[in-house]
Structure 1
Amino acid sequence: MTLFDLGRSELKGLIENEPRYRFDQIWNGLYKNYSLPSELTTLPKALREHLSSLGEMSLALSEKEVLFTDDKKTIKTLYSLSDSREIESVLMAYSDRVTLCVSSQAGCAMGCVFCATGQAGFFRHLTKGEILEQIFRASRTSRDIFGGRLSNIVFMGMGEPMANYDAVIDAIGAINFEFGISARHITISTVGIAPGIRRLADSPMPISLAVSLHAANDEKRSKLVPINSRYPLGEIIEALKYYQSKQNRRISFEWAMMDGINDSPADAFELAEIARELSAHVNLIPLNPTPLWPYPGSPIEIVEGFRNRLLELDVNATIRQNRGNQIAAACGQLTTQMSPRKRSSSPRPDPID
């Protein structure tokens, strides 16, 4: 157990001989001011030293490398975990928000053939604390570099969130109640783990849901997204209907556009049938290159034509703006192989390692 695995009661137990207001100083320092106990000069020096000596107060992540895009609006960070496994997260600044793409696992077991994380394989789940520490560090970076508050969280980083459901939901509870980020600004992206979708439907928090679809018939989808053989489209659609009946929230479909593979008029028609049935929004994502997938993304004119065809078929569809291709930080590109050629000399806030 490390610092961000601690709940309120566990932290109180570590300082039970201190006045109540000391707990409030530490807790608010972590979740409101993004400050570690060792940085809180309002605490007595002896208490800071005592807390620093406790293993439960240690950090879970160690920052290994940081990459910036040329416009300094997208930042990818490589972290080492306590067992030397590695993860990445991506922070993106937009005109109206700052979004963090969070990892929920080290690697991924889903094996999507076009995804760099899936190509690398699965190592282990992340703990609640390892997920929350990504939020904490990104909140500091957003404040210090972008001059604004981290406002949106997307579980679209490394790993399948529904495969690590309990840790992800526990982390989301803290993101919502402690970091103060609205549940409506938190999105879980899944390849279609039907039991997880049903569990999310029963959650009291109004968390947004995105499904990485990529093909709208079982034969093609099972080749691109192998877990489809276990949870085929019919089962996913029924789980999504249940989610809608309980949450009354719009579902998004993510569709990575692959040249000559899933970008034909027939593909658009099959997708439209499912999207209309669920009143789903479709995000079209020009496929980003990954090491072990030899096929290119669809040309932009094909992507735009596909989008227009969906609109003609009464489906709400948009083309997602790719962020971070320059530093292999875009959708499907997260692995743990950082490129020194892309390293930026942009200023960084003081490290906390």
Structure 2
Amino acid sequence: MAGSTQTTQNEQLTAPGKAPLQRALFGMTLKQLTALVDGLRQPLFRAKQLHDALYRQRVESIDDISTLPVAVREKLKADGWSVGLPQVALVAKSVDGTERYLVKLGDGETVETVWMPGGDGGEQGDGTPAADEEEATAPPVDEYKRGTICISSQVGCAVNCQFCLTGKLGLRRNLTAGEIAGQVAVVLNRQGMQVGKDRINLVFMGQGEPFHNFDNFMDSVRLMVGPMGIPESRMTVSTSGILHGIDRYMQEPVRPKLAISLNGSNDKVRTAVMPINKKWPIGVLLNVIRQIPLRPRERLTFEYVLLGGVNDSVENAREVVQLLRGLRAKVNLIVWNPGPYMPFEQPDDERVAAFQETLRDGGLPAYIRRPRGRDIYAACGQLKRTMDDERLVTL
């Protein structure tokens, strides 16, 4: 992880004109922690103890780091340090068990993070262990738990997809690596999940475009794959098609699975719902995607939000088949999740079924992602800090 990331985070939290806030330990590398411990004139093995407490034990307070002497803990606090995990300010609970968290960051900004017990079926057919579990019989209750965490990478989003509530926020700022990985630590603690035993899937599909925040996104991946112990094969990053981000992604030795938001079967349709298509049309995007080296069995995922009367016809499906011909790919069909003041409609079940059948007849594996938390605005495209209904619980 780049050494400058944590400096940027801590400078941001102590900007001129603002009351100084505590500096976050969570997000720092072992090298950075070693320098910190050395500055305290402590044995360097204390850095490893601190590193383990932050990422393996996922402590929430410096006082919880029992391997450090009390005097060292007090010195850290006196110098303005804290663990610095994001705080869950509010939670909404769905009838299907999904939980949506309003997560407060160190500077007072907020994002939303979603917990889906059992997942949402998004991994089906992608050729990974997570996909195998989707298709297997559920394990005994006492064997392990399984769930998916949907993570935000930015406060707001600049891509402005027309069907997505997050796009209406605009972009406020990028999240740091510690703030991105910190969402995962907070949810794992809340749900009592055990890394290495329970089946944890992560999707970078919350607020923001991860490839617009590439360095911090990848630093967070390295934190979670390394000290937190979550394999990259259990992570999926979704992008609207940021070509320079995809180019950099291909060079990474450790990388999550990739999902491309397609949402249109031709340039006219895609540009109408995703203005970014003006910059990078479908043909240009697919030419780059065809160069991505895939792992054995791995399939690229294309996400396709079905908008009633806009992109959901059988002819649209035939065009998708032609676009993706020759790619080792699968398509996740997402029935549009409604939001206030959005000028779209959900397609009829018959049109959804016909679209899926057309893709499959054309040789494309196609799956309908089951919506999770739609009643609490936790489903795909609904995250917009709409935490104002009767299902809210103040923590």
- TM-score > 0.5 by shorter chain: yes
User: Cα offset for 1:56?
Assistant: 4.3
What is the RMSD of the two structures over their aligned residues, measured on CA atoms? 2.3
- The answer as to 2:107 corresponding to 1:83 is yes
Q: Is the 8 A contact 1:108 1:158 kept in 2?
A: yes
Normalising by the residue count of structure 2, what TM-score does the alignment of the two structures yield?
0.82
User: Cα offset for 1:60?
Assistant: 5.6
Q: Is the 8 A contact 1:67 1:344 kept in 2?
A: yes
Task: Report the equivalent of 1:23.
Answer: 47
Deviations 1:155-211, CA, capped at 9 Å, x for gaps: 100000011111101111111111111111111100111121121111101420001
- The answer as to 2:249 corresponding to 1:200 is yes
1:162-241 matched pairs, under 5 angstroms: 162-241=211-290
Deviations 1:33-64, CA, capped at 9 Å, x for gaps: 21133212343222222222333435163322
Task: Report the equivalent of 2:187.
Answer: 138
Distance in 2 (alpha carbons) for counterparts of 1:164 and 1:116 = 19
Q: Is the 8 A contact 1:52 1:58 kept in 2?
A: no
For the residue of structure 1 that corresponds to 2:63, the secondary structure is: helix
Aligned length: 345
1:90-105 matched pairs, under 5 angstroms: 90-94=114-118, 97-105=146-154
Task: Report the equivalent of 1:10.
Answer: 32
List alignment gaps of at least 5 residues for structure 1: 349-353
Of 38, 47, 67, the match for 2:63 = 38
For the residue of structure 1 that corresponds to 2:325, the secondary structure is: helix
Normalising by the residue count of structure 1, what TM-score does the alignment of the two structures yield?
0.91
User: Cα offset for 1:271?
Assistant: 0.8
List alignment gaps of at least 5 residues for structure 2: 1-9, 11-23, 119-137, 139-144
Task: Report the equivalent of 1:264.
Answer: 313
Identity %: 35
The AA in structure 2 aligned to 1:81 is: L
Of 75, 80, 94, the match for 1:69 = 94
- The answer as to 2:216 corresponding to 1:158 is no
For the residue of structure 1 that corresponds to 2:216, the secondary structure is: helix
Distance in 1 (alpha carbons) for counterparts of 2:202 and 2:283 = 29
The AA in structure 2 aligned to 1:198 is: D
Task: Report the equivalent of 2:292.
Answer: 243
Q: Is the 8 A contact 1:152 1:186 kept in 2?
A: yes
Q: Is the 8 A contact 1:210 1:254 kept in 2?
A: yes
More helix by share: 1
Distance in 1 (alpha carbons) for counterparts of 2:336 and 2:311 = 11
- The answer as to 2:320 corresponding to 1:287 is no
290-299 or 180-189, which deviates more: 290-299
